[in-house]
Copies of this chain bind each other. A is one copy, B any other.
Amino acid sequence: MVGRVLSIQSHVVFGYVGGKAAVFPLQCLGYDVDVVNTVHFSNHSGYGWLGGTKTTAAELTQIFQSMESNNLLLPERLLTGYIPGAEGLSAVADLVDKLKAKKPNLIYLLDPVLGDSGRLYVAPDVIPIYQRMLPQSTIITPNWFEVETLTDIKLQDLASLRRALKILHEEYRVPNVVISSIPLADWLSAALPPTFSKIPPNSPRLLCIASAATPNSAHPSTVYAQPVELLPGYFSGVGDLFSALLLAHFVHGDASSNGEAVSHAASQALAKTHAMLRLTHEYAETLPEEDRQPTDDEKDAADPQRKVRRMRGRELRLIQGQDIIRGSGLEIEAMQDWTDFWTT
């Protein structure tokens, strides 16, 4: 894996979210990474205090312009993540148009960072800008909530999931949609074909779905899926790591093999992300009890350091797990073809 990636997302001094979760893995895998920071914060927002500033749209534009004047806009791949304001996102959207015009086969992974679990963490006016940007992407990696927000469809059954994917592929012309984790609710579990490995009913699991558009074919896409074990507790930066690995492992083939390209890359990204999460979880378990208290808003409010200690213990073990990124000793389970996704 060689080439140049332009990464535009958040920067935190301490810990591993945004660019701090994405850049090092891309570098380990052999990519030169041009790193634009959309914020310069002390840490992720889950901690008690947050210091630093957002990069203004004017500054982003000035950086892009200088790079253009110096002829340094040379990426073969583009990765965009958290961009907090509409003005900044517009500056990035303009850059994307410019890069795509110059290099139509640019591989663009757009992570539409909008929010999670029903809560937006960007200004609402970024949503229509993301919708306008979608047709320029090669792969998008929305979570459950972001699929709902972008398509305005509540995901509650197989029919609504189909409608949402159809909109993303056909209306927004997104070639590849990868939803890294959806809670494996009963309706979703029941819809999975029997060829999928048996999922014990009481084991908490997530499902990763990769959907590759199949234009001029009977169905909107080829869909792949893989159940993923859900580890207890909330870890930050997991989606950012997953997207970076997905982009790193995506090997552009001809159109007919597009589904294989994205399912192969998603398999790699899933296995590595999960191994990193497991390493982090195991490390967190070795910490003194006071550093691994469960989430409890009431106790956190009474003792702000309680939350800080928990957050700190759950930072991704990216450095200690760098061999995982390189793939040493890792077993990669291929995603399964969900053959009858559009027909059952």
Contacts and interface: CB of A to CB of B under 8 A. Distances in A.
Contacts of A30: 319-320
A145 interface: no
A339 interface: no
Nearest to A311: B70
Interface size range of chain A in the complex: 35 or more
Given A34-B13, A35-B13, A40-B40, A62 B52 contact: yes
Interface string A48-61: 11111101000100
Q: Say what secondary structure dominates the interface of chain A.
A: mixed
Given A40-B40, A48-B69, A52-B62, 14 more contacts: A2-B320, A14-B34, A15-B72, A30-B319, A30-B320, A40-B63, A42-B62, A42-B64, A42-B67, A43-B72, A49-B66, A51-B65, A71-B309, A72-B308
Copies of this chain, complex-wide, total 2
Nearest to A312: B72
Interface in A294-331: 305, 308-309, 312, 319-320, 322
A170 interface: no
A235 interface: no
A36 interface: yes
Interface of A: 2, 11, 13-15, 20, 24, 27-28, 30-32, 34-37, 40-43, 47-53, 55, 59, 62-67, 69-72, 305, 308-309, 312, 319-320, 322
A53 B322 CA distance: 32
B59 A13 contact: no
Contacts of A37: 11, 37, 40
